Amino acid sequence: MSEEELKSAIERGVEAATATVQRPGRLLAAVPNAAAVTALILLKARGFEHLSAISCTDWIEEEQFELVYHLWSYQDRIHVMLKTRLPRANPWTVTAAPLFPHAQTYEREIHEMYGVHFDGNPRLTPFLLDHWRGPPPMRRDFNTRDHVRERFGIEERIP
Amino acid sequence: MRELELYFGPQHVGMVGNFGIVLTVEGDTVVRARSNPGYLHRGFEKLMEYRTYMQNFPLVCRLNVMDPDPEEMVYAMAVEELAGLTVPPRAHYIRTIVLEMSRINSHLFWLWGFGNLLGFDTIGQWAMGDRDYFLDCFEMLCGGRVYHTYIWPGGVRRDLPDGFQDKLRAALDNLERMLPDYDEVFFNNRIFADRTRGIASFTREEAVSMGLTGANLRATGARVDVRREEPYAAYADLDFEVPTMDAGDSYSRAVVIRREIDQSISIIRQALEKMPAGPAWKKTPNPFKWRVRPGEAYAKIESARGEDGMYLVSDGSDKPRRAFVRGPSYPAAILMLEKLLEGASLSDVGHIMLSLNIAAPEVDR
Amino acid sequence: MITEKKSIFRPFTALKYLFRRPHTFCFPFEQKPTADRYRGLHLNDREACTGCGNCADICPNQAIAMVEQPDVAPCPGKKNELPQVDYGRCCFCGLCVDICPPGSLSLARDYIHIAPSPESFLAYVPATEASGGEAFVTPPDYSIMKASLSHRLADNAGFVSEMDYSLVDFERVPMEVVPPEDRRNSFVEIVKGFSEEQARREASRCLDCGLCEDACPANMGIADYVRAIWEGDNAAAVRVFYEKNPLPSICGRVCTHKCEEACGIGRRGQPVAIRWLKRYAADSVPPERLGEILARGPAETAQKKVAIVGAGPAGLSCAYYLALAGHSATIFEALPKPGGVMRYGIPEYRLPYDALDKDIGHIQSLGVEIRCSTRVGRDVTLDGLHADFDAVFLATGFHVGRSTRVEGTDHPHVFQALDLLREITRGGDVMVGRKIVVIGGGDVAMDIARSMARLQATRYGTIHTTCCCLESEDIIPASREEIDEAREEGITVCPARGPQRVEIDAGRIRGLHTVECTSVFDEHGRFDPKLNPENKQFFEADMIVEAIGQAPDLSYVPESLDEKLAKEGRRIQVSEDLQTSLPWLFVGGDLIEGPDVIHAIANGHAAARGIASFLESKS
């Protein structure tokens, strides 16, 4: 299946989806959050069995988080970046773990770093951070410099 | 029988890397395992958002200590794709050589850890000794033995110095000469086979559903390799095989890695022969005045551990909006490891972890 | 994989290692040499280091701080700062080496640092009793000199800067010029100017270090306006110009660009083309839009009246800044049009008249009155100005040519360059000899030689103009571009020749006798030319032009005033505000700084500030 065929399939099969062929082997597909799971099922059924990763970007000025599911088909050799947006004020979505078991870990990290909640994920427990009591640190409004200043009081002394 | 909770790592003689596994054991059998990562969390992805594109370049090699060049490569590839930069042909060949040297180094380092965890000390010492000659080559090429800061957007940082080719060939010759002895001592060793055959096996479907790539996947019979699927650098012009095995157990994974070393040596020799002339870098824009147009790129390569990817998002400013690193050990180190350790013998815990070729820095970033 | 062949002889295969070189044990001991490109602690070549701070700006870990060196005096192209590296932060990536424009910074082939005591090189120490329990306080023994690797061997450099692999772009975007064959008989402007794409590309080379700003006599915000041009915001660039300089179209063509001489990239490559960038941005704004972009009319303060003598760069600049401060400035100009030497000295092919009119026009639009053809000393008197105005600024410049006074220079066909240039600009008739010799090697000499060559080409179809000067080729005072362009246009430039006498025969000039000049300055740098009479050269000519220097004409200052003025030798003494010993009288421009447009503009601005505070103190 070519990138163009995949693009058409996604736009037909998933409500309100727009897909762009970025270059040979790369397809960008943007779907509303309600259709994200449908899109994942469509892709998995079409041979996209490998979930490379799930990443999250903070578009703070648009007050949205963007989740990107990175999927790869060994057969067609296409990498799909399935993008979906969540409102920053209440980032809640559904887990992809039943489809891709190891999505659980990526979602766990995004939960810890961004504060996104994945309903149905059995393990949204602390992952990389130890005894962290601050806000989700990968958010753009969390400034590491300011945090160090407040927490350790060091910065003032460095000329 | 009483259940005990043991901490395997981060402070443990048998742990390789700054990683931890919480084991619940009943006697000698592991009942439950929970990975405990985070000891190497340096916050790279956040740090990269505060630095300009050129300032980020010295950071990325630190993402994987044992195999630093693939991270430099994916970052450079992602930036080149976003900014529309071209790379001269000679740089592609030099990058190929550096990546393969890094793969060899990583595999030799793995051999040290893997051998030790099975009780073979000698093979590890040999591997580290032979690895040192490659580190000398890196020192000559880029001034650093472990952190190379050599592959940057636009090409590579300096051209090959005089005498480098000879030094590299000497290191390759030495390794090739030693490899039959490695086999003699370790890979053909009955004890190694008995201890690893049938241990921690999984099928191709299980591997893919758990996100495994690289040698872990090839050991289950899938002939997949990013260098073949999406050729980058000079791989399209070079001749190499992708070794696979069928059983998907610890033994198969080790043998696949061993065969990859042969392939890497062959690739480097071919690249040295076919090296084109020309510049090794095309100047990138002034780092103080470099704004990359908005966009996103996913660059991936085959590192020693599997699919190594970087998802870079730019928003039109001089700093990346998001730099997401896909470390190949990430899926293996958490869910797959926990699954494989369930029911395993306590004496196998270390070597199962290392048979998946887990690198802790890639997990934590 | 497993070849389980067993053999009783297998262990004996280990004998092959008997004569192999071991990894670790080496006898006799050999020191393993460090690689040539090793990245260790820093080395900095103090002589070459400009103190620009680019290393500090690029370091991803902010490990480098620029520390002031109080014992070193800053000079154009060099700040009195040196980089100090915090090795707790440095990751030895070497980006600082790759961004260093002069290539003074390098990484050594070792990590060894020898210090007499830890406090001498540790910038931050843990809390001690002596520090009163305070942590991270710099100990009193700490000294940048001791910590900054001054003891390190300079020949231990490992990772050094290579220009092909440097992050600095050393090559300028070339400027398109009218080719020499098309310039011969035309006064069309030679420089064609940058297109938008070229200008933004050239502006993108600038590393923002600010060495240029320190060197600019008017201290213009160069890094800011170059950045604005790079971003495509020419209006913002123009606003930055006018903060310090109201004549950007002019300076963008003829400024002596001390900035470019100071530019760090110029140490090993070509400096950023700051002057051409200024030309591009100034030209991009049409005159009718200038007022709207600068968005400021005169301020509304007490309207005092200031008289300015001379509508050259100093006078115009002073008038502009006085007008902005709300004062009424009137300029008295002896010549028919304003501009001074800029109009009447610099030829049209370097500075077209419409560029002059544009800049001067904007100044006039602020309400500055320029009374042309009004000579102070003839049409009005200086005493009269003193009576009618609250303050006076003298900016009459150096517009009188000096003469060599060798035998024969009193012949009517021996001219002064400045007189000829003035006449050419006025559109009057000038004598155009068939063979012309110009005495002098400065920019004025080049100007007149190239102008006369054009007139010769127009009138006769051929060029025969020679320029001879005392200085040897390497120290000819004219700018290198002028000399090269003059030669391209067919002018012969003969360095190291001293004029002896003009040969006159039957009332007509035949030529100029010269001898070799072996040196111009003595060991103290004083003007003391040494001639070698044995080496003679005769230049055929029917017209000779002298362009050996300019001098002021202060005859309009009446003696009664002159004797009250404090002087340094013959130069009028002024304060930092350019105020003379007579509080209402200010002097600036060539009269104070010597002939240079940008210095004059800076003077005008300083004088305007001085006058404004004087006027305020008076009221």
Does the structure show a pLDDT above 60 at C147?
Answer: no
pLDDT tens across A88-104, in order?
999 999 999 999 999 99
Whether residue C475 is contained in a domain is answered as: yes
Contact at 8 Å (CB) between C330 and C389?
A: yes
> CB contact, 8 Å: C7 with chain B?
no
Task: Return d(Cα B224, Cα B245) in angstroms, integer.
Answer: 12
pLDDT tens across C288-309, in order?
888 888 876 666 666 789 999 9
> CB contact, 8 Å: B157 with chain C?
yes
Task: Return d(Cα C254, Cα A61) in angstroms, integer.
Answer: 47
* Final residue of a structural domain among C230, C263, C293: C293
C373 and C466 part of one domain: no
pLDDT tens across B172-211, in order?
999 999 998 898 889 988 899 999 998 999 999 999 999 9
According to DSSP, the residues that pair with B151 across neighbouring strands are B156
Nearest CA in chain C to A157: C136
Whether residue C160 is contained in a domain is answered as: no
Q: Which residue in the set C24, C35, C54 is minimally distant from B143, CB to CB?
A: C35
Residue type, C76: P
Domain total of chain A:
1
Task: Return d(Cα C314, Cα C594) in angstroms, integer.
Answer: 12
Residues 92-121 on C with a CB inside 8 Å of B are 92-95, 98-99, 107
CB contact under 8 A, C95 and B58: yes
pLDDT tens across C421-432, in order?
999 999 888 889
Contact at 8 Å (CB) between C375 and C382?
A: no
What separation in angstroms does the CA of C469 have from each of C248, C430, C519? 32, 23, 12
- Report the residue of B18, B46, B358 to disrupt the A interface, i.e. the one with the largest count of A CBs within 10 Å: B46
Burial of B2 (0-12, 13-18, 19+ CB in 10 A): exposed
Residue C566: what pLDDT?
Answer: 84
Q: Band of the pLDDT at A155, cuts 50, 70, 90?
A: low
Task: Return d(Cα C116, Cα A110) in angstroms, integer.
Answer: 51
C336 and C417 part of one domain: no
Strands (E), chain A: 18-23, 26-30, 50-59, 64-73, 78-87, 92-94, 117-119
* Cβ atoms within 10 Å, residue B39: 18
C417's tokens: 């360059």
Residue C22: what pLDDT?
Answer: 74
The mean of the pLDDT values for chain A is 90
Which structural domain range is residue B136 located in?
Answer: 3-364
Longest dimension (CA), chain B: 70
**Is the Cα torsion angle C551, C552, C553, C555 positive or negative in sign?**
negative
CB contact under 8 A, A154 and C124: no
Nearest to C592 by CA among C242, C217, C259: C217
- Report the residue of C167, C169, C265 to disrupt the B interface, i.e. the one with the largest count of B CBs within 10 Å: C167
C328's tokens: 């009424």
Whether residue C394 is contained in a domain is answered as: yes
Nearest to C294 by CA among C355, C352, C344, C248: C248
Contact at 8 Å (CB) between C518 and C492?
A: no
Which residue's entry shows tokens 């209402």? C584
Burial of B41 (0-12, 13-18, 19+ CB in 10 A): middle
C448's tokens: 């007149």
**Calculated CA dihedral for residues C221, C227, C230, C231, nearest 10 degrees:** -120
Residue type, C370: I
* Final residue of a structural domain among C293, C326, C359: C293
CB contact under 8 A, A130 and B38: yes
- What is the rounded average pLDDT of the residues C507-515? 89
Domain total of chain C:
3
According to DSSP, the residues that pair with C108 across neighbouring strands are C157
Q: In sequence order, what are the residues at sequence separation of 6 or more whose Cβ sits closer than 8 angstroms to the Cβ of residue C541?
A: C433, C435, C436, C437, C466, C509, C510, C511, C512
> CB contact, 8 Å: A153 with chain C?
no
Which structural domain range is residue C387 located in?
Answer: 303-400+554-618
Task: Return d(Cα B139, Cα B132) in angstroms, integer.
Answer: 10
- What is the rounded average pLDDT of the residues B78-100? 95
C593's tokens: 């700084």
CA C544 to chain centre: 32
- DSSP letter for each residue of C143-165: -HHHHTTTTS-TT-EEE---GGG
C20's tokens: 């192999």
Indicate whether this model's pTM tops 0.95: no
Does the structure show a pLDDT above 70 at C153?
Answer: no
Task: Return d(Cα A81, Cα A54) in angstroms, integer.
Answer: 9
What separation in angstroms does the CA of C189 have from each of A54, B281, C347? 61, 39, 9
- The radius of gyration computed from the CA coordinates of chain A, to the nearest angstrom, equals 18
- What is the rounded average pLDDT of the residues C596-608? 93
The mean of the pLDDT values for chain B is 92
C369 and C409 part of one domain: no
Task: Return d(Cα A64, Cα A86) in angstroms, integer.
Answer: 5
CB contact under 8 A, C65 and A159: yes
C244's tokens: 């310090």
CB contact under 8 A, C136 and A157: yes
Does the structure show a pLDDT above 50 at C151?
Answer: no
B322's tokens: 């998001």
Residue C531: what pLDDT?
Answer: 87
The mean of the pLDDT values for chain C is 87
What separation in angstroms does the CA of C601 have from each of B283, C311, C314, C615? 39, 11, 5, 21
Q: In sequence order, what are the residues at sequence separation of 6 or more whose Cβ sits closer than 8 angstroms to the Cβ of residue B216?
A: B207, B253, B306, B332, B356, B357
C435 and C530 part of one domain: yes
Whether residue C343 is contained in a domain is answered as: yes
pLDDT tens across B267-315, in order?
999 999 999 999 999 999 999 999 999 999 999 999 999 999 999 999 9
Longest dimension (CA), chain C: 123
How large a percentage of chain B has pLDDT more than 70? 100
Residues of A whose CB is below 8 A from C65: 159
How large a percentage of chain B has pLDDT more than 90? 84
Q: Band of the pLDDT at C116, cuts 50, 70, 90?
A: low
Residue C493: what pLDDT?
Answer: 93
Which residue's entry shows tokens 């309207």? C303
Task: Return d(Cα B16, Cα C459) in angstroms, integer.
Answer: 90
The three-point CA angle B9-B15-B18 to 5° equals: 65
How large a percentage of chain C has pLDDT more than 70? 91
Q: Which residue in the set B50, B230, B324 is minimally distant from A25, CB to CB?
A: B230
What separation in angstroms does the CA of B195 have from each of B31, B32, B127, B247? 20, 21, 20, 15
Task: Return d(Cα B160, Cα A48) in angstroms, integer.
Answer: 41
Interface of C with A (CB under 8 A): 65, 124, 135-137
Q: Band of the pLDDT at B127, cuts 50, 70, 90?
A: very high
C364's tokens: 């006039």
- DSSP letter for each residue of B148-185: ---EETTEESSPPPTTHHHHHHHHHHHHHHHHHHHIII
ipTM of the complex: 0.91
CATH of the domain at B44: 1.10.645.10
Which chains are adjacent to chain C, needing at least 3 Cβ pairs under 8 Å? Answer: A, B
- What is the rounded average pLDDT of the residues A10-31? 89
Q: Band of the pLDDT at A159, cuts 50, 70, 90?
A: very low
Q: How far is B234 from chain A (nearest CA, A)?
A: 18
Which residue's entry shows tokens 């590839």? B77
Nearest CA in chain C to A156: C136
Residues of C whose CB is below 8 A from B285: 204
Determine the straight-line distance between the first and last CA of chain C, rounded to whole angstroms.
Answer: 103
CATH of the domain at C434: 3.50.50.60
C284 and C216 part of one domain: yes
C413 and C392 part of one domain: no
CATH of the domain at A107: 3.30.460.80
According to DSSP, the residues that pair with C142 across neighbouring strands are none
Which structural domain range is residue A116 located in?
Answer: 3-157
* Cβ atoms within 10 Å, residue B19: 26
Residue type, B352: I
Strand order in the sheet with B320-326: B295-303, B306-314, B320-326
Locate all alpha helices (DSSP H) within B34-121, ordered by sequence.
44-48, 53-60, 68-83, 89-118
Strand order in the sheet with C497-505: C497-505, C508-521, C527-540
B227's tokens: 């260098």
Pairing type for strands A26-30 and A18-23 reads: antiparallel
According to DSSP, the residues that pair with C493 across neighbouring strands are C467
What separation in angstroms does the CA of B152 have from each of A34, B97, C70, C72, C153? 40, 15, 38, 37, 30
Residue C150: what pLDDT?
Answer: 46
Task: Return d(Cα C290, Cα C311) in angstroms, integer.
Answer: 21
Task: Return d(Cα B27, Cα B21) in angstroms, integer.
Answer: 17
Does the structure show a pLDDT above 80 at C108?
Answer: yes
* Final residue of a structural domain among C266, C293, C320: C293
Contact at 8 Å (CB) between C368 and C320?
A: yes
Say which residue, C98 or C143, is predicted with more confidence. C98
Does the structure show a pLDDT above 80 at A157?
Answer: no
According to DSSP, the residues that pair with A64 across neighbouring strands are A59, A87
Contact at 8 Å (CB) between B112 and B127?
A: yes
**Is the Cα torsion angle C22, C23, C26, C32 positive or negative in sign?**
positive
According to DSSP, the residues that pair with B204 across neighbouring strands are none
- Report the residue of C41, C91, C100 to disrupt the B interface, i.e. the one with the largest count of B CBs within 10 Å: C91
Contact at 8 Å (CB) between B301 and B287?
A: no
Say which residue, C279 or C82, is predicted with more confidence. C279
Strands (E), B180-241: none
Say which residue, C152 or C72, is predicted with more confidence. C72
Q: In sequence order, what are the residues at sequence separation of 6 or more whose Cβ sits closer than 8 angstroms to the Cβ of residue A110?
A: A54, A55, A56, A67, A116, A118
SS3 label, residue B231: coil
Does the structure show a pLDDT above 90 at C201?
Answer: yes
C278 and C265 part of one domain: yes
Task: Return d(Cα C344, Cα C341) in angstroms, integer.
Answer: 5
C416 and C371 part of one domain: no
Domain total of chain B:
1
